[in-house]
Amino acid sequence: MTPRARSRLALAALALAAACPSPDLSRPHAGGARPAAPSATPAGGTGVEHWRRDGRDAVARAREIAPKGPAAQSVILFLGDGMSIDTVVAAHILEGQRQGFTGEENRLVFESFPHVALVKTYNTDQQVGESAGCMTAIMTGVKTRAGVLAMDEGVTPGVYSPDLAAHVVPTLLEQAEERGLSTGVVTTTSVTNATPAACYSHAPDRSWQRDSRLPKKAARAGFPDIARQLVEFAHGDGLEVALGGGRSSFLPPAAKGAAEPGGERADGRDLAREWLARRPRSAYARNAQELAAIDPARTDHLLGLFAFENMRFEADRGGSGEPSLSEMTVAALAILERNPKGYFLMVEGGRIDHGHHLGNAYRALTETIELANAVRAALARVDPKRTLVVVTADHGHTLTIAGYPTRGNPILGKVVENDDRGEPLPDYATDSTGAEYTTLSYANGPGYPGATDTEPEGPKYVSEHPPRVQRGVTEGPPDLRGVDTEAPDYLQAATVPLANESHEGSDVAVYATGPGAALFHGVQEQSYLYYAMAAALGW
């Protein structure tokens, strides 16, 4: 068998496994009989059937208090990657202060949604969740291990085995395609990054974004990398829209002397060109100008790759030629809304997470505000009686809002406390060592006192504007006298020194409006979101 034939066979096996029918959500226990006990439980978890039974039961309980009305025709899922509750609060204060108000009274647009819930973000093998495992829970209704995309917890992360197809769990996006809905993913990260990838691909390792990253065993078996799975997506008539960064995973290296940089595919394939060739009325955009020139009435399938890897932070986007998250959202909806059967769209504010990992609240909060702008742009054009809009996060971050700052104190600034009469004091508050401190800080990260002024190790999340860390401090807190803590490149102080700030394990909020929104209530498992969205669609 040739390598290409093995590759096609591997892709077909994944597609067949993912085409399994979705569980019947309307009858949690058909005929009054409880489903059979799940099969052997993988180490560290509880098995696929546990999560499916748990989700069906939770929907049934929600139906007892949630008024049942018309089903939603379409669903838009907004995902703020790393958008903890503290991130939302700090962002709505910052947005309000940028508008000239004290900020605390402000609300991001989705904070006015009528239904709110909390979800638990742990993975089956980690107390603190990670994006691939968390998004798999949201998109499949099955919790899994950290780093795994739309496969159950029976796989070993990062390891290829011939039976991977047996561990595939179907996603809501795939099922929407099979039912004739249009589908799309929009992100400010690479379109092959964990959150969007969990919508359309299946892999035991989120890093298998292109063939050059596959382990030798997987490559020899023809296992399709994530970029290939996007382009060769076999459900329905294929993804209608995929917008974001990640050009490197789709293109071969550039020829010598080429005007534009090439990609990093080892197989020499040009997947952007293949996208255009696979289906009629397809389009490919590389910048904001080309995206704006797309005629949605004449375009059925749109691929937009606007950066080599991740797109720029919103704070740094000016003059880059990259579209904003709001612009990409509107462009996606212009194509998807043409389908009379409806659509499913996932929109990710992915670089909220990256800003936090850098310990840089300025960029993380600016990204959060732009996610809210994208929600507002979507609400302005959808039918609220037919469209369920859900806003949530995959996990949180260690950002903390603390101290006793006076009302309206700059959220990115140093703490000014009140006197006994409730009036602001003339000087900044100081800690037990006499040092000034900020309202925002991180539990860990590169802002730890004594760090040097180099970029943090790990993924290069910032290309042109690397944040600078305070230097010259060897003990005690950093000396903030004369330091502009509201500057874009300032890194908030961290308690534990880490090259990259980490996720945190608190529950994250879910905000919902539209048909079926009342199903989002209480404290739920993250996997419940899949069952609630499917139930809202009437499945």
Here the CATH number for the domain that contains residue 296 is 3.40.720.10
Can you give the pLDDT at residue 19? Answer: 52
Can you give the pLDDT at residue 419? Answer: 97
Q: Does residue 329 form part of some domain?
A: yes
Number of domains in the chain: 1
Q: Does residue 469 form part of some domain?
A: no
Q: Which helix (H) or strand (E) segment is 177 a member of?
A: helix 172-178
Can you give the pLDDT at residue 70? Answer: 94
Q: Does residue 437 form part of some domain?
A: no
Q: Does residue 407 form part of some domain?
A: no
Rg (the chain; Cα; Å): 23
Name the residue among 111, 157, 110, 118 with its Cα closest to residue 136.
157
Residues paired with 397 in a beta bridge = 503
Q: Does residue 427 form part of some domain?
A: no
Q: Does residue 34 form part of some domain?
A: no
Question: What is the per-residue DSSP string for 250-286?
Answer: TSPPPPTT-SS-----SS---HHHHHHHHSTTEEEE-
Residue among 7, 22, 74, 131 flagged as catalytic? 131
Residues paired with 466 in a beta bridge = none
* Percent helix / strand / coil, the chain, rounded to 5: 30, 15, 50
The CB density around residue 220, as the number of other CB atoms within 10 Å, is: 12
Q: What is the mean pLDDT of each run of 10 residues along the chain (539 residues)?
A: 52 54 42 39 69 96 90 98 98 98 98 98 97 98 98 96 96 98 98 98 98 96 97 97 98 80 93 96 98 98 98 96 98 98 98 98 98 98 98 98 98 98 97 92 89 46 45 63 92 92 97 98 98 97
Q: What is the DSSP letter of 296?
A: G
Respond yes or no: is residue 131 known to be catalytic.
yes
Q: What is the DSSP letter of 151?
A: B
Residue appearing with tokens 């002397």: 257
The three-state secondary structure class of 197 is helix
Alpha-carbon span 172 to 534, nearest angstrom: 7
Residue appearing with tokens 């209480």: 522
Name the residue among 182, 346, 347, 172 with its Cα closest to residue 279.
182
Can you give the pLDDT at residue 215? Answer: 96
> 235 is in which domain, residue-wise?
3-28+44-399+504-536
Distance from chain centroid for Cα 21: 25
Q: Does residue 429 form part of some domain?
A: no
Q: What is the DSSP letter of 399?
A: E
Can you give the pLDDT at residue 36? Answer: 39
Can you give the pLDDT at residue 425? Answer: 98
Q: Does residue 214 form part of some domain?
A: yes
